[in-house]
Chains A and B, each alone.
Chain A
Amino acid sequence: MKKLFYIAAFALLSSCQIEDDNAPKPEESFIKYLGVIADQEAKDIEPVYAADGVTLDGFVIFGTQKQADSLDSDFYIVRTDELGNIVDEVTIDPNNAVEGLDLDGNDQDDILTGNEIAGQIEMLPGGGFVAIGSTSVTDQSKDLTDFRFISLVILDAELNVLREFNAFNENATGTVPLNLEGNDITMLSDGSLLIVGAIETLAGDTDYYYRKLDAGSGAVAFTKTLGLSGADNDDVLVRAFETDEQTIALFGYSERIGNEGQIGTNVGYVEVNQNGNPTGGSGNYGIPDTLDGSNVLRVFNDVLTDVVQKPGGYMAVGTATVDASNFAFFIDIDFDGISRRKGRLLSEFDPTLTTKAFGVSATRTNDFVVVGQYTNFRVGLEQRGEEAMFQRINQVGEKVEGFESNYGLGDGNDNAADVITLADGKIVVATTIDFGGGIRMIGLIKLNDTGELDR
């Protein structure tokens, strides 16, 4: 009897709870909030790999952050482990002394304070990162309103800032403060960096802007602009890719209407060589205009937000604006610059919901996950304000049914900023979640390959 008693006591005290081996593990799917109590906004997410370049070591998210007691927003970069736990984070305010900028002509560098606007972040071969964005300065004492210049930061693997660069429009003066914006940065096969964005050549007219520079010294190899002349002809580069033939594919949006372009803003593609000169490959792509109830043609302004490379070409996504309404769109462009498919990404919850696309990623089955925002999520009795949007399209541009989902707080202004897919098919999304009271946090959501929070 004593033996029985001891066995029973041991069984109880040993606390033999059993965990199901087949149950999803913490690293397999999660929702996590990162950062601090501030107004944060996610812009870009990239996977972080270990020294072997293959093993996933976590994620890095690039965005902005404005502390409650701060006058302006700063760059915010956070690195997490595979489970989404913060490993390192850094807040960068790079625009105090702008080297070489002398708007007021007093032979001294201007000291400017402004809001950072995050662009893209790229992992460098040595394990560090390079991040590009813009700084917007509004300073009544200097008669500046939304004056923009490029801010670029190089960091080591622990997010220590190694170098900061500012690039500004060299034609800018105190009376003509012309803008220069940085939207993307790509490391080319020769080890140099390619910056793309938009430059204001005249007040109200921006052109494609791209600059190649040495990653170590910052020495400029070339600076190029392309674009239509004339006021309100905005040409903005958004993404750049190096092709297998070492040419460079540039994607943006402009008012060009040739090729497949429609009236209004269209998606643009230009191929250039390593010296920045066009090779002849180009295209303009617009979502077909439609008639309104009175047979008046509705002008769609198709603004590109993200592009991903895929076998045989590229998948571009963006947001079209028409009659003060929005919907997400996609355009499938091959390497010859021909659009294979394009269409609107209407919601299967309710096709009248307005949608915006902010990011796209190719899955291992060559589908595409498109993330963005429902600007006014109302389905049946459920009303949730702005919500993060998840949609999926297959290789022929058809919606994958049952995948679409929404995430966000009931009444917050939430969105999904960017998405990546991992080698195992898992989908990782950087979101901005609005808790109200001026607090927005960066949310990191990891989904399985079917878009569910599951194994």
Chain B
Amino acid sequence: MAVLCSYVVIGQTVQCTRRLTDAEDAFDQGRLQDVLDALDKKGDAKDCFAAFTIDERIRAEKLLTKAYLFTDNPAEAEKSLVDLLHIDKEHQLAKDDPAELHHLYSQFKTEPIFRIGFRAGVNKSFVKVLQNFGNTQVAKQYNGAGPNEVGIGVGFNVEALIERHIKNGIEVGTGFQFRSASYEFDASFIPGLENDFFITGKNRSSMLRVPLLVRYNFNYDKKTADGIRLNKMWYVFAGGSFDYVIDAQYVNTARTGGTAFTLNAPKNSLTSAGDNNVSQVARSNGSIFGGGGLKIRFGRSKVDFITFEVRYDNSLFNYIDPENRYANKDLNIDLGFVEDDLTINTVSFSVGYTKSFYKPSKRKEYR
């Protein structure tokens, strides 16, 4: 039975392909009514539209559009064109397509109504100290700059943005980003005795961010001499972000010297473990950012993108809540560590995928 079914399907496909070829021949010979009869979706051709390959459907819809145009049936031509654009987003007309088709095409919105971009990547923090606090005879050193082995402040980030093209390659976008950023510190109490008495640790924060960006895509509408859109597109962007610290905590934070002391849970939390159960970090913050990247067209229609992006985030406000800097005695006294006023700036590299969404329709001025 299975063999029989396969035979039936293959037979139907072959018939439909022949039907489309015959229709194209009829169009070339000016037998437009034969085209419309052969590709009548409500008639014999109904099953064929289900059996066509994608390319065949594109050829069929385009052929129908032209046939309707030349039989003075603009309403059906528009329907066919919309069907075509549903199948082949941003369908690119050939230079030798009839002028009537180009004219009709120009009356329709063929660009995406929005895009959704997903990106994931790694970041490295750069601490900018606004004011030193604590034992400043020996300044704190961040991200591996000190004599003891601490990390370089690596984190990760994922984001989902909804983007919209405005014009001339300019896009705006907004969405959500989750960023885990950390900075690692190395501090000593006593000049000259850094190897005997020191504090090492990591401050790791999880942040929900709401970025708003403007992006400029170079050569957004540029095509090759053959009328084909460029496969790669460089871009730059800049924007601002509202940042909210979901959670922050110290990881592997300890003092060497005397009786060694390690800051353990729950006292290692910066968002809730102060002696008065207050946050030692500013939960709300803001930042500006900018960067650049490369989009590579992806998928059959070449309207989605794989992206590679480098970005610099410049936090605007103090990460530490100055009112609660000393809220955790285990940190300030047992460990002997007092946070500076600082901002966490990051450089990130991410890889992403951008999906385009369409709703083909006639432009307002042509309705």
Contacts and interface: CB of A to CB of B under 8 A. Distances in A.
A155 to B, nearest CB: 21
Contact of B326 (A18, A29, A409): A29
A409 B334 contact: yes
Given A11-B290, A17-B317, 8 more contacts: A12-B314, A17-B314, A18-B316, A31-B338, A86-B137, A441-B189, A453-B326, A453-B332
A126 B137 CA distance: 28
A45 to B, nearest CB: 18
Given A8-B290, A15-B128, A437 B333 contact: no
Contacts of A434: 258
Contact of B236 (A5, A408, A412, A455): A5
Interface residues of B, number: 46
Contact of B325 (A35, A86, A453): A453
Contacts, number: 117
A31 B345 contact: no
The 3 closest A-B pairs by CB, nearest first: A436-B259, A435-B258, A453-B326
A10 to B, nearest CB: 10
Interface string A7-50: 01101100111111001111001111101110000000000000
Nearest to B267: A410
A164 interface: no
Contacts of B329: 407
Contact of B132 (A1, A26, A33, A443): A26
Contacts of A154: none
B314 A15 contact: yes
Contacts of B197: 37, 439
A26 to B, nearest CB: 5
A21 B236 CA distance: 34
Given A8-B290, A23-B323, A453-B326, A411 B259 contact: yes
B134 A31 contact: yes
A24 B258 contact: no
Interface of B: 128, 130-137, 189-190, 193, 196-197, 214, 216, 236, 238, 255, 257-259, 261, 288-290, 312, 314-318, 322-323, 325-326, 329-330, 332-334, 336, 338, 341, 343, 345
A16 B314 contact: yes
B325 A19 contact: no
A102 interface: no
A419 interface: no
A85 interface: yes
Interface in A357-395: none
Contacts of A30: 133-134, 338
A133 B334 CA distance: 30
A37 B193 contact: yes
B360 to A, nearest CB: 29
Contacts of A8: 236, 238, 290
A382 to B, nearest CB: 10
Contacts of A12: 238, 288-290, 312, 314
Contacts of B315: 17
A157 B122 CA distance: 54
A24 B322 contact: yes
Contact of A31 (B130, B137, B322, B332): B332
B323 A24 contact: yes
A72 interface: no
A454 B132 contact: no
